[in-house]
A and B are shown apart, each in its own frame.
Chain A
């Protein structure tokens, strides 16, 4: 509460902050190889739609409500930066963002993912634009007097491209065998100037050229920023004990609302030979032979007679 009063009544009664009540992070935080673990996109103008999400965590014993929205970034007096204030109409990145749930309530000690899309307008000039996904605590302040509100904002860095150069590369494809499973790994690199998402498969052909398996790579729909890379995997279960095969990774890269490209890795030759079984069989045969020799010698033995 704040009141105007006589000079000798001027006092201050600010309390101390408690432990953090909530936190935010990018939906793919910790799961990408992006150079920046936040929302960093390079996109062409004109209808390019990108899908992502923000995760809001509640560290308290009670439900917490939040307002989630996009905002333009503004410079702050004193050298910092911040998203525009609540209620200020966005004109750039903030207006390109659309959150699927603008008001959320997160249960105690849980987290909630809120998806959003980002669309770059068709007439947007090339350049780098900064904005933010803002998570504002709602209903947390005092009912009267001077409320203190808090917001946590994740930076959204959008580079609008003038010329789109979609250039993806896949490989080298590698594999490791674990019992009768073959685990494939393939890095996917972005050598162009535009962010792309991708899906892909590893196709395995047997020695006669027939398709033995078509394996989707995981995780699917990762996005890769220009200059970045992501590594995906695929598992071939039920690989043969004997024979050979060739594997190729096929990656389909897509620019949101725009170009597509398909790239393939160099083929990887796989050879299968049941070494353990063969060695065990040979050991058994050797043991049988030794036993036969020994027994035949025993049959030929003539004990001495006095």
Chain B
């Protein structure tokens, strides 16, 4: 019986070797063939993340209107202009500015408050939102000047409210800006209209 058992065991061994050889060859081929390796690599728990930083933008937002009472024959100082919110995330390597202009304020009865009698003081408080890099510098403001070719339409030359270097990027709120308005004596009483324009340039 013993020799028979030896013969059976000896006969099974080469069959196993052949089967193992085929399995090994098939595994090797499967691993090397393109496509299979990619599928195997997706079996893990790692999550592929694709994040795109979108292009930046340039914005400015201001209160839609100014309402105040003025006294004729004197300078009305410290009229609050409200908060100004502006954004520069262009990251274009350029410095940028926020400026303001005004035209003459006129009334329906012919009254005129010239912009040459106005001056703007830039608010000294500029706060950056979370994520902002750097802080713009408050501008010097100043008196409004320019050639008033068409009173009530012509805008003054711009005065600077804030300037930012190219590395200053983010969303900022500037508060504390004011306008002073000198109303000539004898100016007619009534409601006046005009426009103040804020511009961000980047």
Contact = CB atoms under 8 A, between A and B. Distances in A.
A1 B98 contact: no
5 contacts: A20-B171, A77-B143, A149-B198, A150-B200, A151-B200
B197 A85 contact: yes
B183 interface: yes
A11 B72 CA distance: 14
B168 interface: no
A123 interface: no
B3 A305 contact: yes
Contacts of A122: none
B117 interface: no
A141 B195 contact: yes
Interface string A55-92: 10101000000000000011011111111011110000
Interface string A1-35: 11111110111111111111111111001110001
B69 A5 contact: yes
Nearest to B196: A148
Interface stretch (A210-218, A246-254, A286-294): A286-294
Contact of B58 (A21, A23, A142): A23
A280 B28 CA distance: 7
B61 A14 contact: no
Interface string A181-193: 0000000000000
Interface in B47-83: 53-72, 74, 76, 78-83
Nearest to A59: B59
Instruction: Tell me if B's interface is mostly helix, strand, loop or mixed.
Output: mixed
A99 interface: no
A286 B199 contact: no
Contacts of B80: 12, 14
A163 to B, nearest CB: 26
Interface residues of B, number: 101
A301 B10 contact: yes
Given A12-B80, A78-B142, A145-B193, A179 B21 contact: no
A108 B72 CA distance: 44
A144 to B, nearest CB: 6
A76 B99 contact: yes
Contacts of A4: 69-72, 111, 183, 187-190, 192
Contact of A2 (B62, B66, B142): B66
A9 B22 CA distance: 100
Contacts of A77: 140-143, 145, 157-160
Given A79-B163, A280-B33, A284-B29, A295 B99 contact: no
B182 interface: no
Given A10-B76, A144-B191, A276-B32, A37 B14 contact: no
B193 A29 contact: no
Contacts of A132: 201
Contact of A148 (B55, B66, B70, B78): B66
B134 interface: no
B21 A20 contact: no
A280 B29 contact: yes
B9 to A, nearest CB: 11
Interface string A110-137: 0000000000000000000000101000
B57 A23 contact: yes
A150 B60 CA distance: 7
A226 to B, nearest CB: 15
Interface in A262-287: 276-277, 279-280, 283-284, 286-287
Contacts of B153: 87
Given A4-B187, A150-B61, A79 B140 contact: yes
A295 B13 CA distance: 11
Contacts of A222: none
A10 B69 contact: yes
Nearest to B84: A17
B13 to A, nearest CB: 9
B160 A17 contact: no
Contacts of A152: 58-60, 199-200
Nearest to B70: A4
Counting from the closest, the 10 A-B pairs by CB-CB distance are A80-B97, A287-B25, A23-B57, A78-B160, A85-B155, A14-B82, A303-B7, A142-B65, A80-B160, A78-B140
Given A76-B99, A294-B21, A25 B56 contact: yes
Contacts of A85: 101, 154-158, 197
B202 A13 contact: no
Nearest to A153: B201
